[in-house]
Structure 1
Amino acid sequence: YYATSQIVEIDIVSGSKKKIGGPGMYRYADQSPNGNLLLVYRIKKPFSYSVPYRSFAHTLEIWDRNGKLIHLLADLPLADEVPVRGVPTGPRSVEWRALKPATLIWVEALDEGNPGKKVPHRDKLMTLSFPFKEQPEEILKIQHRYSGISWLKPEGKAFLTERDWKRRWRTTYLINVDAPEQAPKKMFDLSTQDRYNDPGNPVQMTTPAGERIFLQDKDAIYLSGSGASPRGDMPFLDRLDLKTMKKKRLFQCSEGSYETFVDFAGKSRNQIITRYESETEPPNYYLFNLRRKKRDALTDFKDPAPQLAGVKKQLIKYTREDGIELSGTLYLPPGYKEGERLPLVIWAYPREYSSRKIAGQIRGSSHRFTFYRSYSQLFFVTQGYALLDRALMPVVGDPKTMNDTFVDQIVSNLKAAIDKLDSLGIIDPGRVGVGGHSYGAFMTANLLAHCDLVAAGIARSGAYNRTLTPFGFQNERRTLWENPEIYFKVSPFMHAHKINEPILLIHGEADNNSGTFPIQSRRLYHALKGHGATARLVMLPNESHGYRGRESVLHVLAEMFEWFDKYVKKK
């Protein structure tokens, strides 16, 4: 009932409508480049309460513009037995090939979708053209898991990206699908987490037929990236010659601001549109002349909250006891006087890394304009707190075993942050609160259970009993039955008797995020109260993993302020 829809063609000039086919449960309908055909993804029974709708049984159909079935590409069953971190068998990632009238391209697994199976190639790239009378043709085999394809001119050339989830690695090749005997040319080869060496994303354009292809000037393409560096993000625009592989930097954000490439203005490539902001200037769009390095304003958006203009922000760098470099963005309230020691709120989200060097890379920029939205932790600076936001919480090690030291590493990260700000004379180390959302809430509860470095915690929409997520959590690859000791060790629920600092638990009653059902907060709260802990549980009606209602947003802010005012600021 709720999923039934009707595909309709609308004349945008006259407004007339034409129904195509009959009502059905359609996930999407994608028009071929020549406009004559539709690729239709139709969901069908059986349904399931075990997997999301994208894993339901479905057909991939080719229709004409009148809704007549021209070709049935695939009739795929319910995918409820896909291995952990695996993919379903049969055609997937089906799309129309750009710059061809009506040619399909897709991938199929060669390992039965099982990442644990040892095979020389994970996937194969397939194609089939109108009128779809021939058998599908294999273009090439892909060593690791297919991640996507993007098209260039002339016809046939494309960038194909594969990912090795075990190494957290991605490789992009330049291939020719019309001449698969030509050896793929490796373009980019780096860790998925390596921001400093990220070459950027190719700039794309839309053809008159609605296809997305790379923007090119003969053999050159353009790359736009975040420009991550030890100084923070400094976005850039490069020109890359695909024959010589030589790069030319056309634009890069200057220090002390944050400016990103949006698009080219005109065909000459001499002018671009940028989005410029700084700590004191809200984002606005500009016309930037690449030759004269001159910027002309296109918009004039004002600061929506000038009352908070006095908030001070800076990038803080510090080092963990084992030598891993960390950082975070420090916010100080308006009117802060040097030498004054403030109560501190640390807000963080743990992330896993295979490389110690990459774990310490600076993320983001301290020169961006600050927006105060919704139930953001940034509002703590309006209440007289220092805030260390996005404090790096790396968990570093072999992807298979890094969670063996999860608790020790997050405690070490926390200690390094507190010690640094204490040494700068900014905070009172006896008045520190820690908080986080989702996996950050899991981190918060673990910190309260395994150290005495903070006075109180706030955990929003978290998971605390990992036996309820037995097939893995976040990037944990082992199941509960393979390593029950780790699931027990990292579950705050199992250590509720050790949590002796006040903790505020907030959760949406309708949280449908698979790893953070509301029972997680309810059960931890019951365990805490059973051991006499100071705890408060706030359940938000009709809210999911994030909170949207005005009443909910205001209530969450009030709860957070009151909790830390009582147990951190006034300690």
Structure 2
Amino acid sequence: MTKSTNSRTLHRSQWLFLISWLTCSLAGHAQDAPTYQTPPKALADLVTAPLTPTVSLSDKGDMMLILEQAAAPGIDELAQPEFKLAGLRLNPANNGPSRARYITGLKLKKVMGKDEKALTGLPAAPLISFVQWSPDGTKIAFTHSTDSRIDLYIADVATAAAQKVGAVALNATLGAPYYWVSDSKSLVVKTIAAGRGPAPAISAVPAGPTTQENVGGKRGQAPTYQDLLKNPSDEKQFAYYTTSQVVRMGTDGSVTAIGEPGIIRSAEPSPDGRYVMVQTVHTPFSYLVPVNRFPLKTDIFALSGSLVKTLNDGPLQESVPYSRDGAPTGPRDFEWRADMPATVYYTVAQDKGDPKVNADIRDKVFQLEAPFSASPKEIYAAQFRFENFTWGNGTTALATEQWWQSRKSITKLVNPTTWQTSVLFDRSYEDRYSYPGQPDTKHNQYGRDVLNLLPNDEILLLNMQGASPEGDRPFVSLLNLKTKKSTELWRSAAPYFERPVAVLDAVKKVILTTRETPEENPNYYVRNVKARIAPVQVTFFPHPYPQLKGIQKQQLRYKRTDGVELTATLYTPVGYTKDQGPLPTFLWAYPAEFKSKEAASQVNGSPYQFNRVSYWGGAAFVTMGYAILDNASIPIVGEGDKEPNDTYVEQLVSSAKAAIDEGIRLGVVDSSRVGVGGHSYGAFMTANLLTHSNLFKAGIARSGAYNRTLTPFGFQNEQRSYWQAADVYNKMSPFMNADKMKTPLLLVHGEADNNTGTFPIQSERYYNALKGFGATTRLVFLPYESHGYTAKESLLHMLWEMNGWLDKYVKNPTSDGQVNKAGKLGGGKGK
């Protein structure tokens, strides 16, 4: 999109960046270039390389929609107007998300044909989102975003011709703005209400103070959410931009209103197309939690527009127990049954949503059939938190429930007529080896996904990862629901890594897969898993960076001192041989918590996967002559009653040392030249490794959190509050141990980070603490960027910063580790 024409008023982010830059300049940081920089070409090419298209398959499996992805946007796009309200980031100019990544082209292709046909009738510069096939597979709907509105388009599959439908603009501030109705002739759409009027004025002069209160001492332990409402003016802006009118829109553009305008979170038609479930957010709003915790009313409307029944009006949820097993009180998660014409089901916690309350039954599930005049009927009781149903037919469905504290996952076979159940799978969901796979589904007469039941009550299970002691080997199996025994039909084998993507013919056992090797990027294939014949290639996407062919990859397996088995992927540069000597090394990782050493020890990855050298992780720097220890296992284990984080630092250091030692044993890693890096929780890891070990010459921490007292009611997978485990919080906080830091650390952060807990102030205050103790450090704020960076200029500058830091402190350090032989930061010229 082009830059907004409203350029006379500086946006808050622009002011903040200007002030920040001026402050740095006045503070004596004139050496910092005030313009974006570009890294060496080998790194820059990773940012500018064309993205491989994605694919969407028709229900019949005969047609393939190829979606061409947009490259990284320019910083001018991120600088467009953006409002941060109730946990949302929206574009007030067009009532859509402010940081969308768009599809720029659509092509249709027969799965077993060679010809591709680009859709005609697209706008000149399409910015496409929310692509959906119609239930009968004859049409494809999608949205196109402009500077001022979002429009609906529909393409005819037979002719590959698309056209704009209707004159109304869509509202996508709260997610998907439309759903197909099962007749494939109409859609339920959230639109900008007619006569909405001008936006409320934002006054710089407050009418009074902003207040919050907690009457009666009710507990409200919430995560550190960002972009929350802050004052009455925010409330008015939020209500204005999120309010929409639900309509039934025909494919001919005709419009019929459904209900009244409101803050519509979702509006989904029933499977038979006679009703619409409308969920509306309303006051009182909250300054403590985001919009998904606001009061929510659930209504059933007739498709003609009249109200049929109000199912529930839920209260504000500010006091949901802060736990992975916590849940709101009262009815929640209203959904349509996929296998019935118009039946709603929902869940109610039986333990007040509090996992600390002892209860034999945690959740109950109820259903209510059209015309919704009878009393709800209990259909399922869950020992743990109810997750979901996978519906099949009148006698077969699957129900899943989980409990995070024990990592327990139970899948039951359910008879939806008698509601009798039997356990199908009972496992720990962190045990990747035991994961059976995803049941194959198909569209029923309503266009909804249901179990694809074969004769003799069999279903196909697709396991796209296929974790095993031999590494990841995806597979397809056939499960008999009567005997509960499965038979493996096919498994990926060397020298390929091949994933099952979709079932094209369940009876004949024909599937669509993606296949890759270290030198061949993923492409789609048709494979008969029953017949022992070679698969047929159906797409021919080119290698995204052919100049990097020849990079070497090795899957490492090793142990840390407590016996936990670990893995990492070792990348070495093109043409490297061990007789050239050990290399400067960059370790990139992200810690993960486990409840058992056995699960933590499971093998991860495959040596046969494509060498995807992304600009985002550590592997990019193999192009700069480094050995890369990528995705090194950093398991933090707490067995039984022990919590993983009680020994976080010890396990962290032990895991990193084990990876380095293995690289040294192989003769690849130069122990005197090792750097470490990570993003988000990986940044937190990096700061802790530099603080509590002498394994590394330097570190790079991107968008992390370093002071855990700023996330006092838990963080990552830590469920205890600061007041329950103060010693753990303090020991794990690099900020609290800033005086121990002696290793150079580069801090990078998105100036507009909205991730829970990783406020930009985390990096700012940590940098100030490190500077106060004389540590070698550098802080880089990227304007307009959130937790993940998207603008081309930002990504190029990020790589420039990282390359310069590694070059100065890891590749070419002097004896004191402080001065680079080249004497200059940065690996490329200014842009």
Contact 1:60/1:72, CA 8 A, preserved across alignment: yes
Corresponding residue to 1:473 among 701, 710, 715: 715
Letter in 2 for 1:206: H
Aligned equivalents of 1:19, 1:335: Cα separation in 2: 66
Structure 1 range deviating more: 315-324 or 371-380: 371-380
Deviation at 1:268, TM superposition (A): 3.9
TM-score normalized by structure 2? Answer: 0.67
Question: For residues 616 and 566 of structure 2, what CA distance do their matches in structure 1 show?
Answer: 26
How do residues 513-532 of structure 1 correspond to structure 2 at under 5 angstroms? 513-532=755-774
Aligned residue for 1:42?
A: 280
1:421 to 660, 663, 669: 663
Where 2:434 maps in the other structure, the secondary structure is coil
Match of 1:330, SS state, is strand
Match for residue 500 of structure 1 among 698, 719, 742: 742
Check whether the contact 2:590–2:634 (CA below 8 A) recurs between aligned residues.
yes
Q: Is the 8 A contact 1:332 1:385 kept in 2?
A: yes
**1:21 touches 1:66 (CA, 8 Å); kept in 2?**
no
Letter in 2 for 1:123: D
Deviations 1:94-145 (A, max 9, x none): 1111221111111100001111111111111111111111211112321111
Structure 1 335/207 Cα, relative in aligned 2: closer, same or farther at 3 Å? same
- TM-superposed CA distance for 1:363, in Å, is 1.6
Q: Which residue of 1 aligns with 2:292?
A: 54
- Give the aligned partner of residue 262 of structure 1: 501
Q: Residue in 2 aligned with 1:168?
A: 407
Matches within 5 A, 1:200-349: 200-218=437-455, 219-225=457-463, 226-266=465-505, 268-290=507-529, 291-339=531-579, 340-349=581-590
Does 2:261 align with 1:23?
A: yes
Which amino acid counterpart does residue 538 of structure 1 have in structure 2?
V
- Structure 1 counterpart SS, 2:764: helix
SS in 2 for 1:519: helix
- State percent identity of aligned pairs: 48
1:458 and 2:700 correspond: yes
Matched, 1:194 2:436: no
Quick one: higher RCO (CA 8 Å, sep 6+), 1 or 2? Answer: 2
Corresponding position of 2:798: 556
Deviates more, 1:255-264 or 1:457-466: 255-264
C-alpha displacement at 1:67, in angstroms?
A: 2.3
Residue 267 of structure 1, CA deviation: 5.8
Aligned to 2:637: 396
Pairs within 5 Å for 1:149-160: 149-153=389-393, 155-160=394-399
Cross-structure match for 1:6: 245
> Matched residues in 2 for 1:198 and 1:266: separation?
23
CA distance in 1 between counterparts of 2:271 and 2:533 reads 39
Give 1:366's match in structure 2, choosing from 576, 592, 607. 607
Secondary structure of 2:386's partner?
strand
**SS class of match (2:241):** coil
Which of 72, 75, 78 pairs up with 2:316?
A: 78
- 1:91: Cα distance to partner? 1.3
SS, match of residue 551 in structure 1: helix
The amino acid that maps onto 2:338 is A
Aligned counterparts of 2:690 and 2:275: Cα–Cα separation in 1: 59
Output the amino acid matched with 2:411.
T
Distance between the aligned counterparts of 1:365 and 1:60, measured in 2? 46
Q: Secondary structure at the match of 1:188?
A: strand
Instruction: Identify the residue that residue 536 of structure 1 maps to in structure 2.
Output: 778
Return the letter of the residue paired with 2:806. Answer: F
Task: Report the Cα offset of residue 333 of structure 1.
Answer: 0.8
The reply to whether residue 410 of structure 1 matches residue 647 of structure 2 is no
Equivalent residues of 1:375, 1:554 under 8 A apart: no
In the alignment, which residue of structure 1 is the partner of 2:624?
383
Aligned-residue CA RMSD (Å): 1.3
Are 1:375 and 1:556, in contact at CA under 8 Å, matched by a contact in 2? no
Q: In 2, distance between residues paired with 1:304 and 1:84?
A: 43
Q: Deviations over 1:257-316 (max 9, x none)?
A: 111112233464242221111111111111213313221111111112110001101101
Deviation at 1:400, TM superposition (A): 4.9
The CA distance in 2 between the partners of 1:293 and 1:401, in whole Å, is 50
| Kept in 2: contact 1:341–1:426 (CA 8 A) | yes
Work out whether 1:142 is the aligned partner of 2:412: no
2-side partners of 1:569 and 1:312: how far apart?
Answer: 20
Q: Distance in 2 between matches of 1:425 and 1:237?
A: 39
AA aligned opposite 2:260: G
- Tell which deviates more after alignment, 132-141 or 415-424: 132-141
**What SS is found at the alignment partner of 1:25?**
strand
The number of equivalent residue pairs is 567
Flag structure 2 segments of 5+ consecutive residues without an equivalent.
Answer: 1-239, 814-831
1-side partners of 2:746 and 2:569: how far apart? 24
Matched-pair contact (CA < 8 Å) for 1:458–1:503? yes
